[in-house]
Amino acid sequence: MEGGGRPSAAQAVLLAASTAITALLYSIYRQKARVAHGLEGAKKVRLDPDLRAVLLEAPGRCVPYAVIEGVVRSVKDTLSSQFVENCKGVVQRLTLQEHKMVWNRTTHLWNDYEKIIHQRTNTTPFDLVPAEDNAGVAVRVMKPLDAAELSLETVYEKFHPSVQSFTDVIGHYISGERPKGIQETEQMLKVGTALTGVGELVLDNATIKLQPPKQGMPYYLSSLDFESLLQKQESSVRFWKILTVVFGFATCTILFFLLRKQYRHHRERQHLRQMQEEFRQAQERLMNAEGGEILKNACVVCLSSTKSCVFLECGHVCSCHECYQALPKPKKCPICRQGITRVVPLYNS
């Protein structure tokens, strides 16, 4: 603590940082909890011939947040894998990722660094249909790339290492960057994949559409079943809740420590003021009873013996030798509470 009982700059920064982190974690926790609560309250609908009748009876022919499960079927053409034969899908993502080592001048270590240098995503319209594929009902999936969790399967992955000469190696060490190679990846949402869709379900003329919800809730197209998806979100909520509680407890601990220090400083100052007031009253009584000359030379502790000690480094002359010996250790001046480093005897002539 600094003078006056105020916290030091480091303590203030620590408290502010801990409070800010706790507030940030609590905000993330509330958002995750809202998402999990909304997902838990989503309406489960079956992909069967009665689905159209359910939407006709719904307000605005729309279910704002619905859960539906089915398998992927392309509407027109399918996308073919560039590397795997007879691999058909409706979403294709091609990625080129650079891998290299970068020298860290602070830690003096080589760190892995990855950077996407090219990515292309191709899509084609597709529906969700029942697994039996004989119910005659389909749900058109709109804007699949907007889904918070789009389950794509990696169908091809190959790493192309960099070919380096001796001159290149020396140049890389000088520049602080050492290429490792290029990783080529192809991911696809294949035809026939079982998906769980969570979003807004609407009947648009004769087409049933699953699209991103308008209430700020996330849009899901996941290969997990609904129960697993819900458990995943609840696990995320518990994780952020634990982090919030831990940092909140740390913030309360820091705040309690600072308040306790300030309270103790306040009590010490209050005790000092009380002692000074008692000395002043005793001096007044002594002056009224015996005159100012006796008061001037009286010990401020016992008010009976003559002052005979000079306290250094503060320089106060306020105590007799017997009262100085009786002061508790570490010895402090009764007037200013400064530590006494040495004592010089005082001789009155």
Our count of domains for the chain comes to 3
Residue 61 φ/ψ region, left for φ over 0, alpha for ψ in the -120 to 50 degree band, beta for the rest: left
The tens digit of pLDDT for each residue in 20-77 reads 999 999 999 999 999 899 888 899 998 888 888 888 888 988 999 999 999 999 988 8
Res. 151: pLDDT tops 50: yes
The domain boundary, picked from 182, 203, 224, lies at 224
Domain-embedded: residue 26 = yes
In tens, the pLDDT along 188-223 reads 999 999 999 999 999 988 889 999 998 778 999 999
Say whether both 86 and 208 belong to one domain. yes
State the sign of the Cα–Cα–Cα–Cα dihedral 21, 27, 31, 37.
Answer: positive
Instruction: Give yes or no for a contact between 87 and 155, defined as CB atoms under 8 angstroms apart.
Output: yes
- Is residue 70 within 8 Å of residue 48, measured between CB atoms? no
Let me know whether 195 and 86 are in one domain. Answer: yes
Assign residue 323 the CATH number of its domain: 3.30.40.10
Give residue 1's pLDDT band: very low, low, confident or very high (50, 70, 90): very low
- Cα three-residue angle 158-160-163, rounded to 5 degrees: 165
Q: What is the pLDDT of residue 135?
A: 59
The pTM for the full model equals: 0.66
Range of the domain at 34: 9-41+225-290
